Amino acid sequence: MTTTRRLPAWIIAVTGMVYFFLHAPMLVLVIFSFNDSKFSTEWSGFTLHWYTRLLERDDILVALQRSLLVGGASTVISTVLGTLLAMGLARHRLTARTVLEGLVYVPVVTPEIVCGISLLLLFVAMGIPLGTGTIILAHVAFNISYVTVVVRARLEGMDQSLEEAAMILGADEWTTFWRVTVPQLWPGILSGALLAFTMSFDDFVITSLVSGPGTATLPIVVYGMVRKNIEPSINAISTIVLVVTTTLIYVSDRLTRSPKPS
Amino acid sequence: MRVRRSIFRVINRRESWAGWSQVAPTLLFLVVFFIVPLAMMFGSSWMARGTYGGIEWRFTAEHYVRFADPLYLSILARTLAWSLGATLFCLLVGYPVAWTLANAGRWKNVLVFLVIVPLWTSYLVRTFAMIFLMRDSGLINTLLLKTGLIQEPLELLYTPGAVMAGLVYGFLPFMVLPIYTSLEKLDPTLLEAAEVLGARPAARFWKVIWPLSLPGVAAGSLLTFIPALGSYLTSDLLGGAKQMMIGNLVQNQFTTARNWPFGAAASFVVMSGVLVAVTLYLRMRDKAPGGGL
């Protein structure tokens, strides 16, 4: 529907309340991250104190580094694997296709806690020590499907005749892939990668189950801070996380929306 | 003609080989790190608990029988009631929002973006935002005390209401977006036709809009129900020990209680709930006039 219809007042009212409910809590957190008071719900002046304090905490900085490492590694691996799967599913007639499609959706519908404990069982049974390696493996496992879904959506919208033309003109599968498909596909790949990174960077439940001693990522440190209650530094971290996530999603959104960057 | 056909035959034959070589590494990874672990979980739920935690290789059904215990039955019932309740509530308030989005004209992009942002913002951070508002010294109580509406802080946190608010807050975007997608595909001429033919607003909704939005409603309900059913953080941080959901039971068995087989059985109970939900979804999708999303 492209035309703007007149919306009944009650629908606008419900929508307004929902948007308020969805965004007011985070806005409050952001505002109070600049509050110059230990008792964080009384406003007593502006400060950047809670942000500078973050830089003094080694555990947070170390955890941030580990989160970036885990996010980067798992994003690269899951983007490569997820894109390959999307290509195979979208461009080839494979036997047992329905089974393969079903397999892609298993990680999407499996609750995090179930995914986490089943991986824990696997790692323990195989004798793999828990640590940064197992966190990366776990993140790849839950990210692949999301990358596949995003990249595949882009592939379905692409003109396949260019690839066919390249093949008929004598390019082999590999050349066609790198010189014809990838250049058209890259916004999809990049937006899949951004989503993968965001999910990896945010994950707490699965990470907490497959991480070993001394390999905490940022969400695990934040969880500890939330649990122990309560200093306004969490508000500051939350604000940073919110800003970073919103930026990544905005970029990803632009990439998927514009069909061709000409 | 013959040349063309033979070229296509060559391409097709190569395709199936190339196709498998493309999907094989990923499939292998998914099987090893997703399917095998799930199978191991299922298997170990039928094994006995080892003396020092861990698993002993002896078949038993005791972990499933244990769910007949009133304590665990109440956790099951609570989890189911809250997940269904949150899904239903999300549907009730999410549908009007989706309708607004589908008819928002030039504001559409901004409004859709504002629904996507919370979805990708750290759920842990968002849950903390709820704590920040609801705890005894939180913003809501501070404001109410200051205005003199209450003398004592209200007990908001660690109540069923807090968990419910957390579930809706966390998963509402999952409901709104699929419904919005199917409402956006709705052909406005259908509504005009219904109007011209004399259908009142209620009839236009129930006879035209609602049936055509069913694929979105089904997808949204599935995407809201599944994370609610398996939710762990929400009840952990907003509900406290009294408001345990099955996700907390699973986590508890794998950490403090160290009864892994029972934890595996509990997570398989979650998975069977997921399986039922997915089956219902697929049925509903196939029946819906608009087809799948």
Would B50 be classed as within a structural domain? no
Structural domains in chain B (count)? 1
- In the prediction, which pLDDT does B289 show? 62
Q: Does B138 touch chain A (CB under 8 A)?
A: yes
Cite the DSSP H helix spans in chain B: 2-30, 36-44, 62-65, 70-102, 108-120, 123-134, 139-146, 160-184, 188-196, 201-204, 210-229, 233-234, 246-254, 260-287
pLDDT, one tens digit for every residue, chain A (262 residues): 444 457 889 999 999 999 999 999 999 989 988 988 876 677 888 988 889 888 888 889 999 999 999 999 999 999 999 999 998 888 777 777 888 888 999 999 999 999 999 999 999 999 999 999 999 999 999 999 999 999 998 888 888 888 889 888 988 878 888 888 888 899 899 999 999 999 999 999 999 999 988 899 999 999 998 888 767 888 899 999 889 888 888 888 787 765 544 3
Would B237 be classed as within a structural domain? yes
- What's the residue count for chain A? 262
Distance CA A145, CA A83 (A): 10
Chain B residues 54-83 with CB within 8 Å of chain A: none
Q: Does A87 touch chain B (CB under 8 A)?
A: yes
Residue B230 sits in a domain whose CATH number is: 1.10.3720.10
Out of B22, B33, B120, the one facing A245 most closely (by C-beta) is: B120
Would B28 be classed as within a structural domain? no
Out of A18, A40, A87, the one facing B22 most closely (by C-beta) is: A87
CB contact under 8 A, B132 and A121: no
SS (H, E, C) A114-180: HHHHHHHHHHHHHCCCCCHHHHHHHHHHHHHHHHHHHHHHHHHCCCCHHHHHHHHCCCCHHHHHHHH
**Which residues span the domain enclosing B165?**
67-287
| Domain spanning A57-257: CATH superfamily | MetI-like (1.10.3720.10)
Residue A32 backbone dihedrals phi, psi, to 5 degrees: -75, -10
Distance CA A252, CA A190 (A): 7
- In the prediction, which pLDDT does A45 show? 84
- In the prediction, which pLDDT does A38 show? 74
Distance CA A218, CA A202 (A): 8
B chain contacts of residue A95, beta-carbon cutoff 8 Å: 16
CB contact under 8 A, A11 and B264: no
A chain contacts of residue B7, beta-carbon cutoff 8 Å: 168
- In the prediction, which pLDDT does B229 show? 96
A chain contacts of residue B195, beta-carbon cutoff 8 Å: none
Out of A29, A117, A242, the one facing B254 most closely (by C-beta) is: A117
Q: Does B23 touch chain A (CB under 8 A)?
A: yes
Residue A233 backbone dihedrals phi, psi, to 5 degrees: -60, -30
Q: CA Rg, chain B, in Å?
A: 25
Closest chain B residue to the Cα of A166, Cα to Cα: B11
Pull the structure tokens for residue B60.
């038993």
Distance CA A254, CA A187 (A): 9
Distance CA A134, CA A115 (A): 13
Would B155 be classed as within a structural domain? yes
- In the prediction, which pLDDT does A1 show? 44
Pull the structure tokens for residue A247.
């930026």
| Complex ipTM over 0.90 | no
Answer positive or negative: Cα dihedral of A252, A253, A256, A259: negative
Would B40 be classed as within a structural domain? no
How many degrees, rounded to 5, is the angle at CA B210 between CA B88 and CA B183?
A: 95
Would B24 be classed as within a structural domain? no
A chain contacts of residue B226, beta-carbon cutoff 8 Å: 109, 111
| Cβ neighbours for B140, distance < 8 A, ≥ 6 positions apart | B133, B134, B154, B156
A117, A164, A251: best to mutate for the B interface, most B CBs within 10 A: A117
Out of B105, B118, B120, the one facing A198 most closely (by C-beta) is: B120
Distance CA B275, CA B182 (A): 24
Would B15 be classed as within a structural domain? no
Tell me how far the alpha carbon of residue B4 is from its chain's centroid.
Answer: 49
A chain contacts of residue B37, beta-carbon cutoff 8 Å: 115, 118-119, 121-122
Please, is A55 exposed, middle or buried when counting C-beta atoms within 10 Å of its C-beta (0-12, 13-18, 19+)?
A: exposed
B11, B95, B122: best to mutate for the A interface, most A CBs within 10 A: B122
- In the prediction, which pLDDT does B251 show? 92
pLDDT, one tens digit for every residue, chain B (293 residues): 455 555 555 555 555 677 788 889 999 999 999 999 999 999 999 999 887 777 888 899 899 999 889 999 999 999 999 999 999 999 999 999 999 999 988 889 899 999 999 988 889 999 999 998 998 888 888 888 888 888 888 888 899 999 999 999 999 999 999 999 999 988 889 988 998 998 888 898 999 999 999 999 999 999 999 999 999 999 999 998 788 999 999 999 988 888 999 999 999 999 999 999 999 999 888 776 654 44
H-helix or E-strand spanning residue B147: none
Closest chain B residue to the Cα of A77, Cα to Cα: B26
Chain B residues 240-279 with CB within 8 Å of chain A: 247, 250-251, 254, 260, 263-264, 267, 270-271, 274, 278
- In the prediction, which pLDDT does A78 show? 97
Q: Does A5 touch chain B (CB under 8 A)?
A: yes
Would B1 be classed as within a structural domain? no
Out of A39, A110, A253, the one facing B137 most closely (by C-beta) is: A39
Per-residue pLDDT of B168-202, as tens digits, reads 999 999 999 999 999 998 888 998 899 899 888 88
- In the prediction, which pLDDT does A93 show? 75
Which residues are paired to A35 by β-bridges? A46
